[in-house]
Amino acid sequence: MKRLLAGARIEPRPVTGTTTVCELVDGALLAYNGARLREAAQLFVRRMLEDDVTVGVSLSGALTPAGLGMSCLIPLIEAGFVDWIVSTGANLYHDTHFGIGLTMHRGRPDLDDVALRKDGVVRIYDVVFDYAVLLDTDAFYRRILFAPEFQREMGTAEFHHLIGRVVAERQRALGLTRKSLLAAAWEQGVPVYTSSPGDSSIGMNVAALAIEGCKLKIDVSRDVNETAAIVLGAKRAGGKSGVLILGGGSPKNFVLQTEPQVQEVLGIEEKGHDYYVQFTDARVDTGGLSGATPSEAVSWGKVDPDKLPDTVVCYCDSTIALPLLTAYALAAHPPRKAKRLYERREALMENLVREYHQAHDFGPDGGLKPRP
């Protein structure tokens, strides 16, 4: 019985008008998902932000329309706390609005959507914006994607890097700063991937331009191998891999499948990600990936079984959890030197290919011999 009651007593100090974010998280979030948020913040700061940890972040749900790109993700990138990103295309498309001087506004979730359609207003729950924002952003993409540098095949990291440079230039021309996640990632050398390139307005515009003769093609296989190479490279350098999962969906799987790609598919010896933090509202009992637990991920080889204690799932809306995590991390941990993984992609891929060849017996013609 004494062992079961060995945890710290529940007796927090009163929250006051001078309570800091660290005092709030550490001292007042003591139970239920508040406690999970505290554990997530502490794990992120105390373990995941060590210099030898490579941090991947997945973004799903309408985060950038809610302003989380500007309020949280850009500060985290600039502090060196994010090393690579997997996002829905929609988050990056809506991020672009802000970088090219367009606006979104606070609204209400109970507005008449038929009336909104008649008035040319688009709604994302309680965020509203002019339909012209979509048309202007589409025009921006359709104009720049005919530039010579886009007339070839590339992965989404290179694609978003090129987009980020153009958005950064537009920001400067408009006298804007720190508006676009893509621009910040370009400046800090953070590769940004999209797990489903066709599933957004960016992909829709790429498809339309293909009809007009644009030569751009997205190499999804490059993305699968490149993200796996990032994780393998972190481990082979003697470091660790951590994932911060905002929401679930395809980006969650894409950031986690790096380990099965290394182990199961490429046959390279590895054990799984070392640290895992997720904010989600998805249920576990429906069998979907969004609600799948770190323990379940162990069975797939996605998470190192020895590191399961270094995993936290907090059932909380990211619009609540991420600002608190960001404020806590920036207050409690000094900035890290940016790893600038975008510029190291080729070297990381070379290492992956080399280990793949070493893990298999290749015949004289270069082909893989059948396994016995």
Tell me which residues are annotated as active site: 302
d(CA 116, CA 123): 8
CB–CB of 37/22 below 8 Å?
A: no
Query: Residue 249 class from Cβ within 10 Å (0-12 exposed, 13-18 middle, 19+ buried)?
Result: buried
d(CA 124, CA 106): 10
Q: What angle do CA 285, 290, 295 make, to 5 degrees?
A: 70
Q: Which amino acid is at 336?
A: R
Return the closest-CA partner of residue 227 out of 180, 198, 190.
190
Backbone angles phi, psi at 207, to 5 degrees: -65, -40
Q: Which amino acid is at 274?
A: D
Alpha helix (H) ranges present in the chain?
21-28, 32-43, 68, 74-78, 89-99, 113-119, 131-144, 156-174, 181-188, 201-211, 220-236, 249-256, 258-260, 294-300, 318-332, 345-359
For the chain, how many residues are written?
Answer: 372
Tokens 């993984």 — which residue? Answer: 341
Report the 3 state secondary structure along 34-94.
HHHHHHHHHHHHHHHCCCCEEEEEEECCCCCCCCHHHHHHHHHHHCCCCCEEEECHHHHHH
